[in-house]
């Protein structure tokens, strides 16, 4: 769970910076946007499998994989939010006032991205958690021990007929964690918008 949470936080920060940079109109950012589109087409599980075989298992590798798989989605989302803002009255007024791009991004754009990014963070956390759980279920042991829920599910599949709760309890725990994370995110954003 901590891998998914930390990797989601890192992916949101990297995606925020990358998305703002990709919203600028230049040849380099258009090429970067095209590369980002190609990366988004590759399935996350395939990326995970290739990187695990290349880098090996472990906590650091799973953290890196989860952040690397999540960042392009966040960057694309941020870019889609920033492009209309660049033509908005607030940004145009800041440009006319002589503000630089860094000041406009920090003072005008980023504060308007906080609420959408926090809402998106719930979905990104669930995706990251499922990716880590998939690695454990496939037997890659992402945490380096037998203490993660997906490894428990996978290890107890043989005895499913005799003791179904050995596999069902960790599966229910994963579901409860993901649902509660989304509900908590939605509730927190509901309070924030009032």
Answer yes or no: are the C-beta atoms of 74 and 19 closer than 8 Å: yes
Question: How is domain 2-193 classified at the architecture level of CATH?
Answer: Orthogonal Bundle (1.10)
> Which region holds residue 139: left if phi is over 0, alpha if psi is between -120 and 50, else beta?
left
Task: Give the global pTM.
Answer: 0.81
As a whole number, the mean pLDDT across the chain is 84
User: What are the extents of the domains in the chain?
Assistant: 2-193
Give the 3-state secondary structure of residue 180.
Answer: helix
Residues 6+ apart with CB under 8 A from 66: 3, 4, 7, 8, 11, 128, 131, 132
Q: How many CB atoms lie within 10 A of CB 160?
A: 13
Cα gap 116→168, rounded to integer Å:
34
Q: Per-residue pLDDT tens for 30-79? A: 888 888 888 889 998 898 889 888 887 788 888 999 999 999 999 999 99
């Amino acid at each position: 769970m901590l891998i998914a949470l930390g990797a989601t936080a890192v992916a949101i920060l990297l995606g925020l910076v990358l998305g703002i940079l990709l919203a600028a109109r230049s040849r380099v950012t258009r090429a970067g946007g095209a590369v980002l589109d190609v990366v988004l087409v590759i399935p996350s599980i395939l990326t995970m499998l290739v990187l695990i075989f290349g880098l090996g298992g472990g906590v650091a590798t799973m953290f890196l994989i989860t952040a690397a798989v999540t960042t392009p989605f966040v960057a694309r989302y941020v870019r889609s939010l920033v492009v209309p803002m660049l033509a908005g009255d607030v940004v145009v007024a800041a440009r006319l006032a002589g503000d630089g791009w860094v000041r406009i991004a920090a003072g005008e754009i980023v504060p308007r991205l906080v609420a959408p990014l926090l809402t998106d963070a719930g979905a990104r956390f669930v995706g990251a958690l499922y990716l880590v759980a998939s690695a454990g279920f496939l037997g890659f042991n992402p945490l380096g021990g037998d203490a993660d829920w997906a490894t428990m599910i996978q290890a107890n599949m043989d005895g499913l007929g005799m003791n179904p709760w050995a596999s069902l309890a960790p599966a229910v725990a994963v579901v409860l964690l993901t649902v509660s994370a989304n509900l908590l995110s939605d509730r927190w954003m509901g309070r924030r918008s009032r």
